[in-house]
Structure 1
């Protein structure tokens, strides 16, 4: 499996999105649906922009259905909503300030899909929330690695759980990985617009032209080391024993997260929507969450966040995981325990250990 430098991925996505948007919006104020389809030389990127718009519509629809005064299960209402959506899809009109974030997200997803399809599709599994029709509805937006998408469609239609879908996905990938199209070929249309430095974007595990390019340019490809390395904050210890106290600055009583209060909060009805166990945190964090946590909680250090997730995965309970977080990260990285980012991070930890 290829290891992605998410900092480079995010910066590249932002840069090329600005380039596409600057060229388009130089003469036009709004982006239409038909123009999105033809916006970039990468059909996959264009379709992922449309997918982002569709997801935004679905979010709005769910908010509408939460209104307690109307029966949205009524057949006539359901048919009317579908017709409304069809009409709305023909009336897409987006200004740059709203379009550029969608564009950036689409490029990020396209890079991830090309280089690390397993992580991309795991994100889709989490996004599906058990909806059997999700993969059928999403298929039209995915043009790369369609065999993996087909596996998820088949297994989901048979009622497979989230964990079963992930197992089937990994098994299919292992069987097909040597026959899958190389990511540099998939990304060539973007590379032609703005060069992708693969030696910085990804560490190679296979052989081929990109690996040879990496060897040739090894000295130029060295990344600037992070201000503070992951080793300062994390050790190979699998628990929060006394040895950890000697290497980390534990959170003060005022800053520390109370595991009992956090557990009670997530057990409450207010957070019932997040229920549903997940497996390894290191494999289940979605791409957007990964960017947010890296930037807001781990000082832009993707390796540090990855090590933190792996350390939490080795814990045996929610309480042990929170104590580890208090010992290693809250004080060292100046976390605000009441922030939305910390709250969302703890929600994921809770879902991993909700039965413990």
Structure 2
């Protein structure tokens, strides 16, 4: 969770806002439709996050419908499934008890995006599966983002021609974008009146004191199209749906420029939602007597070895090539790696070692360590544990 917020105050505000907005709507309705969701809150970003959560559910349900006993890739089946899913999407119907949690979460995400955009995008990137960002996911992130949209759009632009990149690379781009274009970040103050229409939003209560002081100043488509295959013209607080054609089985919402001056909005309904950021590992001083060495210095030259004196029998054994990384790691080393490098997670350790064992070269394995795991688990690349792992990789690919 972003450390700019008072966690309890943020949670309480989001629940209160969701309760107020939902209460006013459901006082006169039993269920809410897709078009009504797009106009529910005066803050359009909140509505879009709710729609994205519904779309994720829509897609996951479609995946569970698949069966290993039938050919779901057959053209006839694909076409029938597309018509079926599109028809279902045209009949969104959500009851209050199901909407309120989605609305509270959408409000939380919107406030974090406003007051701590660096944390918001960092959290979205770090929680990608396999710690890699695909071009499709980057495109979806751009389409779903209305507030500070230039950030994911710039990341997507840098990915042109790449099917995916390590999240570590995307995080570096994020730092560069915010450094170069930080002045373009939207001012939270203009959204305070919009939220306060329902529940008074007081940043002095919502944010920690130090953080607050540093805050910078419908027409339905035909059944052959998905509800999500539409264009939205956003105007605070309402929006209108217009059908737009699509050639793929993917729910898409394009948001045209609005009169409110927010610019063009393009939305893709497949957002994974926020997840908990991987906790930093406990990097306690290791008991290993080996001095810390920068990974860049691990490539010892023959000349350096010659001047280091004669190699002992023990050193010769330690440097001997190995066939398997997992089998060469002693029990003590395994426990040390799990605790010091993988946050105490044996499952994460096993998955990483398996990936490293399947690498085809030292360069590929080293790339996994430096560009994936080091960022994912916040490794100190000069630590004894990391150096020990690098030494094992050298032996594996010697």
TM range (shorter): 0.5 to 0.7
Cα separation, 1, equivalents of 2:171 and 2:82: 31
1:7 aligns with 2:8: yes
**How far, CA to CA, are the matches of 1:317 and 1:18 in structure 2?**
49
* Bigger Rg, structure 1 or 2: 2
Higher helix proportion: 1
Q: Which residue of 2 aligns with 1:141?
A: 144
| CA shift in 2, pair 1:80/1:155, >3 Å | farther
TM-score, structure 1 as length reference: 0.58
Provide the residue aligned with 1:204 in structure 2: 212
Aligned twin of 2:329: none
Matched, 1:114 2:114: yes
For the aligned residue pairs, the C-alpha RMSD in angstroms reads: 3.9
Residues 82 and 154 of structure 1: CA distance in aligned 2, closer, same or farther (over 3 Å): farther
Q: Aligned-pair distance for 1:127?
A: 5.2
Normalized against structure 2, the TM-score is what? 0.52
Matches within 5 A, 1:143-182: 143-159=146-162, 160-182=165-187
Specify which structure has the higher proportion of strand: 2
Q: Deviations over 1:224-267 (max 9, x none)?
A: xxxxxxxxxxxxx952789xxxxxxxxxxxxxxx9589526862
Please list the CA deviations of residues 252-295 of structure 1 after superposition, one character each: whole Å capped at 9, or x if unmatched: xxxxxx958952686279x99xxx945556xx9xxxxxxxxxxx
Q: What SS is found at the alignment partner of 2:41?
A: coil
In structure 2, what is the equivalent of residue 124 of structure 1?
A: 124
Shift of 1:314: 10
**2: CA distance, partners of 1:316 / 1:78:** 53
Quote the Cα distance in structure 2 between the aligned partners of 1:64 and 1:316: 49
The verdict on how the C-alpha distance between 1:199 and 1:265 changes in structure 2, with shifts beyond 3 A counting, is closer
Q: Which residue of 2 aligns with 1:348?
A: none
Give CA-to-partner distance per residue, 1:187-207, whole Å, 9 cap, x none: 431133211221232213637
Deviation track 1:326-355 (CA, whole Å, cap 9, x = no partner) reads xxxxxxxxxxxxxxxxxxxxxxxxxxxxxx
Higher mean Cα deviation, 148-157 or 259-268?
A: 259-268
Q: How many residues align?
A: 247
Q: Give the distance between the partners of 1:55 and 1:141, measured in 2 at CA.
A: 12
CA contact (8 A) 1:37 1:46 kept: yes
SS in 1 for 2:201: coil
* Contact 2:338–2:349 (Cα < 8 Å) also in 1: no
**Change beyond 3 A, Cα 1:239–1:184:** same
Instruction: Give distance in 2, aligned partners of 1:201 and 1:86.
Output: 40
